[in-house]
Amino acid sequence: MKTIILSSIITLMVSSTVFAQQHHHKKDENNTTNLANEHMHQSSTEELIKRFESPERDAYQQPEKVLNYLEPLKGKKVIDIGAGSGYFSVKLAKQGAIVIAADVSDELQAALKNRIEENKLQNIELRKIPYDSPSLANNEVDIALIVNTYHHIENRSEYFSKVKKGIVANGELVIIDFFKTDVPVGPPTNHKVSIDEVIAELKKAGYINFEVNVDLLPYQYIIKAK
């Protein structure tokens, strides 16, 4: 497995759930946001849950590999931003993490509440969050995880500056999203955000160290940022 370690002075030259905002979006770093959210709004909550939890997603998302990559997890406090139906939140909790399942959608939070109760999970907290904030206290979590959601967030540098304040000193932000290429899964290519764009935006938010993995998953990159 190749892992590319980046510092704040290195630019990585690699071409490359639901967090849909329902209000106007600025341009510049957010020029993908409106397209991505309009695309998401075309599906009902039931359709989204079916898509998020499908065997087809398991095939490309390979959650076991992701969880192994994030280890150790037991006892770690993790916020899953854009938790959606709880695809990763439930798996993280079963690995022993203390999970904040955060999402802007009342419908998805309600569906996840039922799932948590059915699985008798005591270590997941539901957190309804606004569009412009992760609603984290300072130094609240060890890991902030955001999967297939980065391109839905507006004002990303400002948003992830708030995320950074919520992560403990030795903690990390982990972003998993689709390569900005024509791949058979995920949103249309013009909705995606490239690795270079993500890193540039995170630098504006105050992150200085980056670890990028482009080999673990077939259609997605993983960025760890501190």
State yes or no: cis peptide before 72, omega within 30 of 0: yes
The per-residue pLDDT for 45 is 84
The per-residue pLDDT for 48 is 85
Is the model's pLDDT at 29 over the cut of 80? Answer: no
How confident is the model over 174-187, as pLDDT tens digits? 999 999 999 999 99
Given a contact cutoff of 8 angstroms between Cβ atoms, the answer to whether 150 and 175 are in contact is yes
Q: Which domain holds residue 45?
A: 3-225
* Distance spanning both ends of the chain, measured CA to CA: 21
How confident is the model over 55-66, as pLDDT tens digits? 999 999 999 999
How confident is the model over 190-222, as pLDDT tens digits? 999 999 999 999 999 999 999 999 999 999 999
How confident is the model over 41-56, as pLDDT tens digits? 456 888 988 889 999 9
Q: What is the mean pLDDT of residues 15-25?
A: 36
> Which neighbouring-strand residues pair with 210?
6, 225
The Cα 184–Cα 187 span in angstroms is: 9
With cut-offs at 50, 70 and 90, classify the pLDDT of residue 151: very high
> Which neighbouring-strand residues pair with 212?
4, 223
Q: What is the mean pLDDT of residues 133-149?
A: 98
Number of domains the chain is built from: 1
The per-residue pLDDT for 32 is 52
Q: Which of 24, 134, 137 is nearest to 82 (CA)?
A: 134
Is the model's pLDDT at 24 over the cut of 90? Answer: no
DSSP helix/strand/coil, 66 = helix
Is the model's pLDDT at 26 over the cut of 60? Answer: no
φ, ψ of residue 41 in degrees (nearest 5):
-70, -10
DSSP secondary structure letters along 138-206: TT-EEEEEEES-GGG-SSHHHHHHHHHHHEEEEEEEEEEEE-SS--SSSS-GGG---HHHHHHHHHHTT
Residue of higher predicted confidence among 39 and 167: 167
DSSP helix/strand/coil, 128 = strand
Residue 106 maps to which CATH number? 3.40.50.150
> Which neighbouring-strand residues pair with 146?
81, 175
How confident is the model over 91-125, as pLDDT tens digits? 999 999 999 999 999 999 999 999 999 999 999 99
DSSP helix/strand/coil, 68 = helix
The per-residue pLDDT for 21 is 35
The per-residue pLDDT for 80 is 99
Is the model's pLDDT at 31 over the cut of 90? Answer: no
